[in-house]
Amino acid sequence: MNPQPRVLPILFATLLLDMVGFGIVFPIIPVLFTDPSSPSFLLPGYSKGAQFLLAGLVTALWGMTQFIAAPIAGELSDRFGRKRLLMVGVGVLGLSQVLFGVGIEMGSIALLLVSRAIAGIAAGNAAIAQATIADVTAPKDRAKSFGLIGAAFGIGFILGPLLAGWITAVSDDPAMPMWVAGMLGAVNVVFVAVFLPETNKRGAVTHARFNVWKGARNIALAARDVEMRPLYIASFLYLFGFGFLPPFYGVFLVNQWGFNEAQVGMAFAAVGVCVSFAQLVVLRMLTRRYNERQILRVSLALVAISMVTFSFMPSVALVIAMIPFTSIPQGLSMANMAALISRAAPADRQGVAMGINGSLMALGSALAPAIGGAASAAANIHMPFVLGGICIGAAWVVLFLVAIPRRAASLPAE
């Protein structure tokens, strides 16, 4: 019996709960760290540059621990099964959200930083989910199936930030959304335990002994893999470039246009609507006629251009109007880049390949906020988006002038 009809909806629901909890924090961080006019502000006496640096650091720590956890999660799921590892991941995320709420109540910057570092461990869930999808879908169908991950991400960015803004406004307590996120994590553990079947039917796959520095070893492995290296470089540049947007979009809206938590939440929700529309509707229409490479040729270029330009719009209405021009191409790029790498990887190494790609994403998620915070402190709040757009443009160059020509002969026929 084909498990796909059962697995994909359950996995989507699991990731949706996970991403709602993950998305709750995004409207809160910019206000806590960079809005002196808010009663929730935690950094009185700090310079604006120091505020930007700390806002970047709190996200960079998440990326650093994700860099460690993502490849370990992918490989462990190859050895011991997807279900067990996914249960651990969603539980850890819920715990981290509770700790973040405690940090807000205590006014403890250290505890906030620690909680985000713990949350990064749960980010390995994406690699496990990608490997699960690869278990139950044919290579030609993976782009639209990987779109479920992006759709869950997008819907999570609708519901999570909206919930955060609404709950904060009603309760007048920025910690309250974190208690809700913690409860969602507990519900998700039970949901995975009861409903998600195990999809890794190949049994334990033997790999070399792993360690906590597997992420760094993955980067070295990607650099040595002559066939896959251009794809990995393009993926890293893309993920690194887009990594500037989530941590600084809210900071930009708060500092440039005076948004509060609820307004930042609505802006992130608009991003989520566009990403979900791209991956639930547009992607499925496009994959009937175009392959991953053809879609990425356009979508990556659009993301790069819109990233560079949107923060320079002269009115808040135009800034908001730019959301679809960034988010829809981003939704398409996310799914098709993962599918392109999955298509090139052997069947018994899907978890490892997705783990390597997760390491690239985590490295970008660690470096981009740190670099973006420093660039904002040294120059202005526009710099993270300019740097991000340049990196995504470089990803397009590597993918279509280097990677695709080299792999064209070896990729399966369309």
Quote the DSSP letter at residue 345. Answer: S
- Residue with the bigger pLDDT between 291 and 102: it is 102
What one-letter code names the amino acid at 374? A
Residue 332 has pLDDT above 70, yes or no: yes
Residue 86 has pLDDT above 70, yes or no: yes
| Residues 167 and 176 sit within 8 Å (Cβ to Cβ) | yes
For residue 410, what pLDDT is reported? 52
Domains of the chain, each with CATH number or no CATH: 4-197+214-407 (1.20.1250.20)
| Residues 24 and 158 sit within 8 Å (Cβ to Cβ) | no
- Average pLDDT of the chain to the nearest whole number: 85
For residue 414, what pLDDT is reported? 45
pLDDT in tens, 260-295: 999 999 999 999 889 888 988 999 899 889 988 899
For residue 270, what pLDDT is reported? 92
For residue 209, what pLDDT is reported? 61
| Residues 360 and 47 sit within 8 Å (Cβ to Cβ) | no
- Residue with the bigger pLDDT between 74 and 230: it is 230
Residue 82 has pLDDT above 90, yes or no: no
Which of these, 57, 95, 92, lies nearest to 72 by C-alpha position? 92
What percent of the chain is modeled with pLDDT above 70?
90
CA 369 vs CA 118, 133, 261, 377, 384: distances in Å: 17, 29, 20, 12, 8
- 191 burial via Cβ count (<10 Å: 0-12, 13-18, 19+): middle
